[in-house]
Structure 1
């Protein structure tokens, strides 16, 4: 699995989209693995597909279900997959599950959407997608 900073991930996503579409291929699949409520209300990058690693109320990952859901959305295990979560931790496990399921090109956003906690236990102040000023939307 490739580790990309938010800036690297955004640049890679844009370049890959352009190149793959020019070749008539599907662009990379950008997957938000957070729970749907997190993705909608906290905010998310534009064009991301929400496929939760786990969901309320169980909060228990099901790697096989997750990989099957990503495969259904991707249509092909060779399609590049970019994963994002809140802080970059859930995507590590989700990415390993995808690689174990046979996905060949998996990357994740280091520090995720909100980044690490600062000394006051607040996010988006040290690093992360939102901190880096990248495009995002919120309900």
Structure 2
């Protein structure tokens, strides 16, 4: 298995813009989508696919993750870009996707909010939000 390559948020955004079949899969929890926001791909006529990697509040791995990908229309030829808060859960989700027959899995480096800054806040150092990419509250 080749592994899941890290792709910057900007390169991910560009790939989503240029490839009609590229899909952004947000693997954070319901609570994160609702309270932190989600990437906005409406300018490309796309929506982010929301499939939690771990289920809140127990944070158990979603045993139906691969099945949810299939139901969302993903196939072995789909280019799937996985995003979470900071890039760890999305890497695990990408690895699971590859193991389940989705070879074109990519990890969005630094995720939606990135690492914490000097004040302990996320969203300003690196990641989707810090790069100024479109997002919205749910």
TM-score normalized by the length of structure 1: 0.87
**Corresponding position of 2:64:** 65
Aligned pair partner of 2:12 in 6, 9, 17: 9
Is the partner of 1:103 in helix, strand or coil?
Answer: coil
Q: Distance in 2 between matches of 1:80 and 1:74?
A: 12
CA RMSD, aligned part only?
1.3
Structure 1 unaligned regions, length at least 5: 18-26
Is the partner of 1:113 in helix, strand or coil?
Answer: coil
Is the partner of 2:116 in helix, strand or coil?
Answer: coil
**Corresponding position of 2:52:** 52
Question: What is the CA deviation profile of residues 55-94 of structure 1, one whole-angstrom value per residue up to 9, with x for unaligned ones?
Answer: 21221113x4111111221242221111111001100111
Identify the range of structure 1 (28-37 vs 72-81) with the bigger mean alpha-carbon deviation. 72-81
Is the partner of 1:31 in helix, strand or coil?
Answer: strand
**Corresponding position of 1:121:** 120
8 Å CA contact retained: 2:15, 2:22: no
Q: Distance in 1 between matches of 2:75 and 2:7?
A: 22
Question: What is the CA deviation profile of residues 2-61 of structure 1, one whole-angstrom value per residue up to 9, with x for unaligned ones?
Answer: 2111111101110112xxxxxxxxx22211000012112201112211100012122111
Q: Distance in 1 between matches of 2:74 and 2:95?
A: 19
Q: Determine which structure has the larger strand proportion and give its number.
A: 2
Identify the range of structure 1 (65-74 vs 107-116) with the bigger mean alpha-carbon deviation. 65-74
Is the partner of 1:125 in helix, strand or coil?
Answer: coil
Is the partner of 2:55 in helix, strand or coil?
Answer: coil
8 Å CA contact retained: 2:84, 2:111: yes
**Alignment: residue pair count:** 129
Compute the displacement of 1:119 (Å): 2.5
Q: Segments of 4+ in structure 1 off by > 4 A?
A: none
